[in-house]
Amino acid sequence: MFQVSGDKKERKGKKKAPALTNSEAEDDSDSSTKPIKPDTKKDTASMFQAGGDSHKEKKTKKKALPKAAGEGSEGEASESPQKNSNKKGKGKKSKKKEERPPSPIIEVDNLEDFVLRPAPQGVTIKCRVTRDKKGMDRGLYPTYYLHLDNEKKVFLLAGRKRKKSKTSNYLISIDPTDLSRGGENFIGKLRSNLMGTKFTVFDNGVNPDRANADWSNVRQELSAVVYETNVLGFKGPRKMTVIIPGMNSDNERVPIRPRNDNDGLLTRWQNKNMDNLIELHNKAPVWNDETQSYVLNFHGRVTHASVKNFQIVHGNDPDYIVMQFGRVADDAFTMDYNYPMCAVQAFAIALSSFDGKLACE
């Protein structure tokens, strides 16, 4: 449903059901890997600083970050210009020029560290999400896999909805064969409210009831997602709000460890207590009279129309794509993320868009 065309007209036509697709107008440039503008790197980092933090120009390069070929603006330009043919399914491997732009070379030395570490500034980490519906109950409870979208297809995360939960609850693991809550590969979870319109992303820490003396073992809240309910039914694109912890002067995520349910990201956001928090939104698509659909420019990374296609941006710079997600085949999707987001945050936000209880289409 969400269409892929580069026409950015803002004329208001008769608005049918949304068809967010991939915009093609800019696919012939190398901008498909450059949502970050090189000359605004410092401004970009400052958007995500926690309140009151004065040291805003320290670089993530001082940290043990994943290495990318030509890290920085060079690392993102490592792809050849792409033309989006809008053909369904995967491109033939023999015709590399028709394949989607892959991720820059990313080294994953320690998987657990990598998936919780913010993307390096200036590097878009490009991933692929696949949905496995095969098996006895996979139709109702499919498993989702996240890989780097490059030649090596490095596995990053797996997620699956828990069966006996009152609310939608997804376990996220760094082992595709171990999706158990008590396993050592458990890395985080996504939990929704009863309506299926608000989601919270946790890491693998313990419940506050089992906290140690200094609370260092208590789970962190990594993100929250709010889908605005659409009283008009299935007309119009989704509206999403994403809340994430801010970054400190060393470009590290500020730990948010709520002591109870009234201290979490969602409650703080609802109470307008945004200390150390950053509010993001999905980028509003533009109505295209020619295609009679809503369009977003995914720079060749999305080929299939879907209500699930989205881009997340900061209000201060809607051209800087913090993450984007979209369909490329029936059970395959691309998921790209930038600083300050990490793989677990982005994957969990993507999983929230799959939830069948969403009352906000």
Counts of helices then strands in the chain (DSSP H, E)? 5, 15
**Of 230 and 349, the one with more pLDDT:** 349
- Report cis status (omega within 30 of 0) of the bond before 118: no
**Distance, C-alpha 85 to centroid of its chain:** 24
Phi and psi angles of residue 254, each rounded to the nearest 5 degrees, phi first:
-75, 125
Q: Please classify residue 237 by burial: count the beta carbons closer than 10 Å to its beta carbon, then call 0-12 exposed, 13-18 middle and 19+ buried.
A: buried
| 187 contacts 204 by C-beta, under 8 angstroms | yes
**For residues 339-349, average pLDDT:** 97
The encoded tokens of residue 8 equal 């950015």
pLDDT per residue as tens digits for the range 23-32: 543 333 333 3
CB 126 within 8 A of CB 344: no
Nearest residue to 277 via CA among 340, 233, 344: 340
What b/e sequence results for 94-117 when a residue is b if at least 16 CB atoms lie within 10 Å of its CB, and e otherwise? eeeeeebbbbbbbebeebeebbbb
User: What are phi and psi for residue 352, nearest 5 degrees?
Assistant: -60, -30
- Which residue is it, tokens 């171990």? 178
pLDDT of residue 341: 97
Q: Where are the domains of the chain?
A: 112-354
Q: Which amino acid is at 165?
A: S
What does the pLDDT look like over 130-148, one tens digit per residue? 999 876 565 678 899 999 9
CATH match of 112-354 with 3.40.50.261: no
Backbone angles phi, psi at 104, to 5 degrees: -55, 165
List of residues 6+ apart from 152 with CB closer than 8 A = none
> Using one digit for the tens of pLDDT, what is the confidence trace for 62-119?
333 344 433 333 333 333 233 333 333 444 444 444 455 665 677 788 999 999 999 9
Q: Can you name the residues that pair with 171 across neighbouring β-strands?
A: 160, 189
Looking at every residue in the chain, the average pLDDT score rounds to 76
Model pLDDT for residues 189-236, shown as the tens digit of each residue: 999 998 888 999 999 988 888 888 888 889 999 999 999 866 555 556
DSSP per-residue codes, 162-231 = -SS-SS-EEEEESSTT---TTSTTEEEEEEE-TTSSEEEEEES-B-GGG--TTSTTBPPEEEEEEEPP-T
